[in-house]
Structure 1
């Protein structure tokens, strides 16, 4: 079996021209890296971010990376109503709006709050609502856009950081 360096590198990402990716949490970390590389390879990227200022800063980085178009949809992934509204907005934005298809959904938005207990507006624990429920709901709402697209993918990004939290209450 080849080692990781031989098995994968960003240089092996094929041309993504004509493909559209939706990436939650695309304003930093893994989400920003994925959005940047996909745009560099020609994909149209729709960033789903909570903070407009951080999204604008990340968008400048992604725009500079390559030819793929970049759009931003603002949403708090811990709030089901915002996730549904974001899905409706995504359906009308950029290449998705023009073609009615989505090739890649990367559910990357996440947080870890080891301090005080926090809840969303429905009383759901904030980590759970953001890291799990929000991504599931977005994938469900966007399903008609990727269900019949050959090669479409949904990628769920996770973390082991929750292992450092003693109590979610």
Structure 2
């Protein structure tokens, strides 16, 4: 087991988000870590946070499925009260959670695995919301292949460009496949 102040090995850095990674992260004493290891530890915390965001999305979506009426105003109000959020923020969180669980399962899985952040999941959800189901799944797949290496603004621009209708003279193939 890694003790506070121990040098992080490559083994812990490859751990999937979850209970074991969390236990390892809890053992680190940041002032005792060499500077070169701090970015890897920060990235591990980000992966773990994304995993927790995915778990929270599943819980919120489950709550929304049980609300009276289903997905109605009771859910955002309940979430706003429980998380001490304003109603607009809670409504957006509920909408995103339901969208990830019901319409973007691959995005939810990437969030759960720590491959993307909640902010990137939000960009994918917002930018693909108006698409039909088959097109949305296709765009989601390509976006997820690129998202881990892109910043949030780069992902937003890429999705906007990918979904812009072709101009005169361009062929009609989907830009998302490029």
Which TM-score band (shorter chain)? under 0.3
Q: Which has the higher strand share?
A: 1
Q: Which has the higher helix share?
A: 2
Whichever of the two has the greater Rg, that structure is: 2
TM-score, normalised to structure 1, is 0.24
Relative contact order, CA 8 A, sep 6+: which one is greater? 1
